[in-house]
């Protein structure tokens, strides 16, 4: 097994992780009811995708 020769300092370890972060989820607008929705997914509010109903919308 490979074993590191030198210990990586806290500073160097944390500097490596400065690029590692979560990005906010991408949200588009439903073309049918204008609710925010994820791209390439049926609208959770009205169940429409590509101009027609493909899923059962969430009941209120």
Whole-angstrom distance, CA of residue 2 vs CA of residue 46: 54
Whichever of 33 and 54 has its CB closer to Zn ion, that residue is 33
Q: How many CA atoms lie within 13 A of 38 on its CB side?
A: 6
Least distance CB 30 / Zn ion (angstroms): 3
* 55 Cβ contact list (under 8 Å, min separation 6): 42, 43, 47, 49
Judged by CB under 5 A, the chain residues 1 through 60 that form the site for Zn ion are 30, 32-33, 35, 43, 45-46
Whichever of 4 and 51 has its CB closer to Zn ion, that residue is 51
Binding site for Zn ion (CB under 5 A): 30, 32-33, 35, 43, 45-46
């Amino acid at each position: 097994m490979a074993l590191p020769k030198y210990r990586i300092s806290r500073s160097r370890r944390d500097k490596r992780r400065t690029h590692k972060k979560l990005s906010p989820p991408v949200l588009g607008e439903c073309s049918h009811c204008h609710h925010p929705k994820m791209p390439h997914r049926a609208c959770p509010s009205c169940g429409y995708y590509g101009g027609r109903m493909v899923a059962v919308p969430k009941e209120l």
